[in-house]
Amino acid sequence: MFKFTINEIRDLIIAFIFISLSFSLLYSGRNVSALLNIYPIVMIGVGLGFILHELSHKFASMHYGYWAEFKLWPTGLIFALISSFFGFVFAAPGAVYTYSQYLDEKTNGIISIAGPIVNIILALVFLLIAATIYRQSFFNAGLKYLFIICSLGFNINSYLAVFNMIPIWNLDGSKVFRWNVVIWLVTIGIAGIMTYLSMTVGVENIIRMIIGF
């Protein structure tokens, strides 16, 4: 049975608010009016991406019989906010800690890759929804709003996947790299391509190429 502590729920909520604010600052160009408009939209993409990313680590750990708990990293919150002023987000407001006397590299790698895989899947789901409603969004304000949500959802989740797969420090990528270099290469390759396309081509043009619009 999956259990959460009060402190864990508190930390997840605080991290969610701050990471959403960081991405909102990035996408709004720090314009207050734009920030207020984009914040609720960003919260959906970040909410699903960040929360499910961390919960996937927790559930994977508990699947192997370990106790796991998300804990806030206050310094990471500050880094996230500051980095948004420099054109990127240092998306490490906290981490899921797995408590065990011994954790082999394979198990640790599987637990670690669960988060980025969830982000990749979410990004593709957002892209699929965006592609499905693209034509209709020209004539429906509600669908247009949903298209914007899905576009940001694709961008944010692609970025979260590739950021967490960087093989440095205590990021997921370092643990996956130690476990299996091939799996690390494939995963960061997919996430990297998605992020590159989101930053250069853009979601709308990606969809146009897919559906031949």
- In angstroms, what is the C-alpha Rg of the chain? 17
Q: Look up 54 and say whether it is catalytic.
A: yes
Rounded-to-10 torsion of CA 189, 158, 151, 60: 130
- Closest C-alpha to 156, from 67, 18, 23, 54: 23
**Catalytic residue (one of 8, 54, 69, 105):** 54
C-alpha–C-alpha distance, residues 144 and 140, integer Å: 6
CA neighbor of 97 nearest in space, from 110, 89, 108: 108
What's the count of helices (H) and strands (E) in the chain, helices before strands? 9, 2
Q: Among all residues, which ones are annotated catalytic?
A: 54
